[in-house]
A and B are shown apart, each in its own frame.
Chain A
Amino acid sequence: VSAALKEGRVTPTELCQRCLVLIKSTKFLNAYITVAEETALKQAEESEERYKRGQPLGTLDGIPIAVKDNFNTAGIETTCASNMLKGYISPYNATVVQKLLDHGAVLLGKTNLDEFAMGSGSTDGVFGPVRNPWSYSKQYKEKSVPKSLSEDKESDWVITGGSSGGSAAAVSSFTCFAALGSDTGGSTRNPAAHCGVVGLKPTYGLISRHGLIPLVNSMDVPGILTRCVDDAAVLLGSLAGHDPKDSTTIQDDFKPFELPNLTDVSKLSIGIPKEYHAPGLSSEILALWSKAADLFKNAGAKVVEVSLPHTRYSIVCYHVLCTAEVASNMARFDGLEYGHRSDMKDSTESMYAATRREGFNDVVRGRILSGNYFLLKQNYEKYFVKAQKVRRLIANDFLKVFMSGVDVLLTPTTLSDAAPYTEFIQEDNRTRSAQDDILTQAANMAGLPAINVPTALSERGLPVGLQFIGRSFQEKQLLTVAKWFEKQVQFPVIELEEVKRHDNGVFQHQKSASFS
């Protein structure tokens, strides 16, 4: 579509308008918390001016994007789907948001998530759960047991996965061309797999976290959600690089790259970690994973089974480190400088306590309390330091495997396809997170780049994705392999009523469904 913009076949304002209309007609998905209609149109107009003058800012100029609601966006409400930040208007743009705007992107709005990005379903935010657009797709409806012949939207819809569910749903339903998510334990890749979109988690330290409301400082990264791997590369190109405002970004120069069209994979070594055959992995996904490995083998690549022995402790380690960092990061919310403030006036401490009592949901409070427990003097060595040691073991597992000559690892992203909402909420948040993050978490532990590539539709007509994990800062190699794979599997386009109705060629055609 970027080419279309350059050639004048469509204008930025037209594109923006169409997205806004589509957002309205897909409101039942609950993917957006805030739609910044006025500012988006203004940005689109400015972009149009630039195209008219023949001076667009680049591939992203005029492209509508959405941003997860835990990134600060100047002048636009940023809530993190929590009562604690309802009404909080950010005074500044997160670095990644600023970079997108500097490239001319049009910010459509803020997407829904689990409260403070804690969760794996996008079901635990104060604005309600996000619905997976595939619940309403022809492909899913055809496979589901016919309950009633009505157009009832209240029937068994499935979850998007989380915590960047809103962003994934927005990209999947064509309401934007790319979206920002965040990834701490799999929060970008998990919903990407369930919604059939590309979800990239960059190497820790590549993209600035300044302005991303932190969950776990040592693992958070901004995530990129797009409809194809090339788009993810374009977005990465505009976002990566050192930021003086984030001292955890590396100082090396980053050169944006275009992905080559790989034809010869014979020099590639793909690792299949056997521990990722986790308990609970659906036979469907296991078969798909196997098929993918064969695909590489038949194309001439070297496919080897490898071992990451500490994989099963990754989720426990994460549990301790995450709650500990959360206990610290959430301490800033006390009602004094921003956000919700309780009416309690007896004392500062009681005001803080009441504010936090009113502002946080069960999940957040639970993690804060657990985190504080693990950080108590009597528990510090046994839990926190122990977890840090286990983290090193996990990171070393990966190092060993990559040093043995493996280029990229191939694993499943999720244990199964998206569950129906009613089934998902039977278990509490912590249990679900522990189950769902199992395949994605280790990459965050080691800081490695990882990407979900939509692979095929399940028996139920829902998307299933596979994950590639690469070496630190080798995004180009990772994305090149992912692109090759994407081309081989030819994942189908979602068939959504709403999209068809508003389409006149710009959206549905696979080539222009991406922007690069």
Chain B
Amino acid sequence: QKVSVEVLDHLEHLALVDFRDSEGVERLQKAIQFADQLQEVNTDGVEPMDSVLEDRWCLYLREDDVTEGNCTKELLENAREKLEEYFVAPPGNIPLPKLEERETFLQGC
């Protein structure tokens, strides 16, 4: 079954990337179809696997000691907009416009 426009819109909001055109939406549909093949596999009683290294004690927490840092200058170098030691961002807490008000391909769906 096809993905609803509401879900597509929701995805655009979550991912902050756009589908751009019908090809983009088709791509998602095909991806879902492809992934549905997983349902053929019997996974009763199988635990999900997070990491292939789960048997080894390597995913550890280290001591909370400062071992490096003081590289403010290097880190700011790659930012386009900055002021003193701050990254400058446009005003926050403003949600993306709703579907009807946004310039998006999904408007036509």
Whether A348 contacts B49 by the Cβ 8 Å rule is: no
Q: How far is the CB of A434 from chain B (nearest CB, A)?
A: 7
Q: Is A97 an interface residue (CB 8 A)?
A: no
Q: How far is the CB of A420 from chain B (nearest CB, A)?
A: 24
Whether A383 contacts B90 by the Cβ 8 Å rule is: no
- Identify the closest chain A residue to B32 (Cβ): A373
Contacts of A351 in B (CB 8 A): 89-90
Interface of A: prevailing SS? helix
Q: Is A357 an interface residue (CB 8 A)?
A: yes
Q: How far is the CB of B4 from chain A (nearest CB, A)?
A: 12
Q: Which of B3, B46, B62 has the most CB of A within 10 A?
A: B46
Q: Which of A341, A351, A369 has the most CB of B within 10 A?
A: A369
From 98 to 124 in chain A, residues with beta carbon under 8 angstroms from any chain B beta carbon are: none
Q: Is B30 an interface residue (CB 8 A)?
A: yes
Q: Is A250 an interface residue (CB 8 A)?
A: yes
Whether A313 contacts B41 by the Cβ 8 Å rule is: yes
Whether B41 contacts A393 by the Cβ 8 Å rule is: yes
Known: A218-B51, A250-B53. A366 touches B27 (CB 8 A): yes
Q: Is A499 an interface residue (CB 8 A)?
A: no
Q: Mark A233-260, 1 if CB is under 8 A from B, else 0.
A: 0000000000010011111000000000
Per the bound structure, the CA–CA distance linking A389 and B38 in Å amounts to: 10
4 smallest CB-CB distances across A and B, nearest first, come from A447-B52, A388-B48, A347-B94, A338-B78
Whether A369 contacts B38 by the Cβ 8 Å rule is: no
From 302 to 354 in chain A, residues with beta carbon under 8 angstroms from any chain B beta carbon are: 310, 313, 316-317, 319-320, 323, 327, 334-339, 341, 344-353
A-B contact count (CB 8 A): 186
11 contacts between A and B (CB under 8 A): A205-B56, A247-B58, A316-B37, A335-B80, A337-B79, A338-B78, A346-B91, A360-B17, A369-B12, A373-B7, A373-B11
Per the bound structure, the CA–CA distance linking A142 and B38 in Å amounts to: 45
Q: Is A446 an interface residue (CB 8 A)?
A: yes
Q: Is A204 an interface residue (CB 8 A)?
A: yes
Q: Mark B26-57, 1 if CB is under 8 A from A, else 0.
A: 01101110110111110100111111110011
Q: Is B95 an interface residue (CB 8 A)?
A: yes
Whether A349 contacts B53 by the Cβ 8 Å rule is: no
Q: Is A18 an interface residue (CB 8 A)?
A: no
Q: How far is the CB of A124 from chain B (nearest CB, A)?
A: 14
Q: Is A386 an interface residue (CB 8 A)?
A: yes
Known: A346-B90, A366-B28. A218 touches B50 (CB 8 A): yes
Give which listed residue, B18, B37, B52, contacts A357 with CB less than 8 A: B18
Per the bound structure, the CA–CA distance linking A369 and B11 in Å amounts to: 6
Contacts of B27 in A (CB 8 A): 362, 366, 369-370, 428, 430
Whether A91 contacts B11 by the Cβ 8 Å rule is: no
Q: Mark B68-87, 1 if CB is under 8 A from A, else 0.
A: 00010011011111000001
Contacts of B94 in A (CB 8 A): 346-350
Q: Is A301 an interface residue (CB 8 A)?
A: no
Known: A91-B75, A335-B80, A366-B27. A383 touches B38 (CB 8 A): yes
Q: Is A295 an interface residue (CB 8 A)?
A: no
Whether A319 contacts B31 by the Cβ 8 Å rule is: yes
Residues of A participating in the B interface, judged by any CB pair closer than 8 Å: 88-89, 91-92, 204-205, 218, 244, 247-251, 310, 313, 316-317, 319-320, 323, 327, 334-339, 341, 344-353, 356-357, 360, 362, 365-366, 368-370, 372-374, 376, 382-383, 385-393, 395, 428, 430, 434, 446-447, 472
Name 16 extra pairs, CB < 8 A, besides A250-B58, A251-B60.
A205-B58, A250-B53, A313-B38, A320-B38, A336-B79, A337-B79, A338-B79, A346-B90, A347-B91, A350-B96, A372-B15, A373-B32, A374-B35, A376-B10, A389-B47, A393-B46
- Identify the closest chain A residue to B37 (Cβ): A316
Whether B15 contacts A327 by the Cβ 8 Å rule is: yes
Residues of B participating in the A interface, judged by any CB pair closer than 8 Å: 3, 7, 10-12, 14-20, 23-24, 27-28, 30-32, 34-35, 37-41, 43, 46-53, 56-60, 62, 71, 74-75, 77-81, 87, 89-92, 94-97
Q: How far is the CB of B44 from chain A (nearest CB, A)?
A: 9
- Identify the closest chain A residue to B71 (Cβ): A91
Whether B90 contacts A356 by the Cβ 8 Å rule is: no
Contacts of A392 in B (CB 8 A): 46-49
Q: How far is the CB of A503 from chain B (nearest CB, A)?
A: 41
Contacts of B47 in A (CB 8 A): 389, 392
Per the bound structure, the CA–CA distance linking A176 and B23 in Å amounts to: 40
- Identify the closest chain B residue to A357 (Cβ): B18
Known: A91-B78, A347-B91. A390 touches B17 (CB 8 A): no
Known: A316-B38, A368-B15, A372-B15. A389 touches B48 (CB 8 A): yes
Per the bound structure, the CA–CA distance linking A400 and B71 in Å amounts to: 49
Q: Which of A376, A386, A395 has the most CB of B within 10 A?
A: A386
Per the bound structure, the CA–CA distance linking A310 and B58 in Å amounts to: 27
Whether A339 contacts B78 by the Cβ 8 Å rule is: yes
Q: Which of B16, B48, B59, B77 has the most CB of A within 10 A?
A: B16
- Identify the closest chain B residue to A429 (Cβ): B27
Q: How far is the CB of A357 from chain B (nearest CB, A)?
A: 5
